Amino acid sequence: MLTGPQLRTEREYTGSFRSNISKEVEDRFEEWAKHLPKTLWELGASNLETTEVHPRPDCFSLREEQRALIQAIAQVIARFLSRLFQRRACRPETTKLICTRFTPYFSVTHPTRGALPGPLFKLPTAHRKLVLDVMALMLHDQDVKACAGEFLGTLEGSLTGQDEKGYWNQIQRRG
C-alpha cells in the first residue's frame, strides 16, 4: 500500500500534485511554465530552409536532422505539459494563462490575409494529437473551461477541415 507522498511519484497517479517546495520556487516554476506555449509556437514556426544557410550540397540531411531535433524538443515540451495538467500541478490562474497563450499555436490573424493556420499544422499528426491531448487536459478543469470560450472557439475553428477534428471530438466526449 502506498502512502500519499509515495503515491504522487507513481506514473499512473492523476490526482492533484503539490510538492513541499517553497512558494518562491513554485512561483518561479509557474513563471517558467507560462512561456512554454511560446516556445512551442517558435519551434513549430521554424522554417529551416529559409533560416539556415548551408554552402555544402550534402546539407539536406543536416536540415532533416535539425527538423527532427526541433520536433523532438516540441514533443518533450508537449509531454511535459501533459503531465503537468494531468497532475494539476499548476494553480488554476496559471493554467488559464497558459491556455490563452496557446491561441496562436492554432490560428494567427494577419492584418491583410486574415486568419491563418498556426504552426501546429506544420507538425506530424502524432504531435498534433499530443497537443490536442494537452488542450483537453487543460480544458478538463471547469474553472479554465469557463474562461476559455474564445480560445476554445479558436481551437475548434482551426480544426475545421483538418484530419484531427474527429480526434478532438472523440477526446472531448471522453473528458
The full DSSP string for 115-134 is EEE-GGGGS-HHHHHHHHHH
- 14 lies in some domain: no
- 143 lies in some domain: yes
Contact of 87 with 16, CB cutoff 8 Å: yes
Please give the mean pLDDT across all residues of the chain: 77
Helix (H, G, I), strand (E, B), or coil: what is residue 163?
coil
* Average pLDDT over every residue of 106-121: 87
Rounded Cα distance between 85 and 87, Å, is: 5
Q: Is the pLDDT of residue 52 over 60?
A: no
Which residues contact residue 175 at a Cβ distance below 8 angstroms, ignoring those fewer than 6 apart? 136, 139, 140
Counted domains in the chain? 1
Match 504552426 to its residue by C-alpha cell.
119
Q: Is the pLDDT of residue 9 over 80?
A: no
- 39 lies in some domain: yes
* Average pLDDT over every residue of 30-39: 86
Rounded Cα distance between 120 and 104, Å, is: 9
Strand ranges in 10-119 using DSSP code E only, listed in sequence order: 107-110, 114-117
> Phi and psi dihedrals of 124, rounded to 5?
-60, 155
- 12 lies in some domain: no
Which has more confidence, 67 or 50?
67
- 26 lies in some domain: yes
* Residue (of 76, 89, 78, 86) closest to 13 by Cα position: 86
- 130 lies in some domain: yes
- 30 lies in some domain: yes
**pLDDT at 168 (0 to 100):** 92
Which has more confidence, 124 or 3?
124
Domain containing 162 equals 22-174
- 13 lies in some domain: no
Model's pTM, two decimal places? 0.72
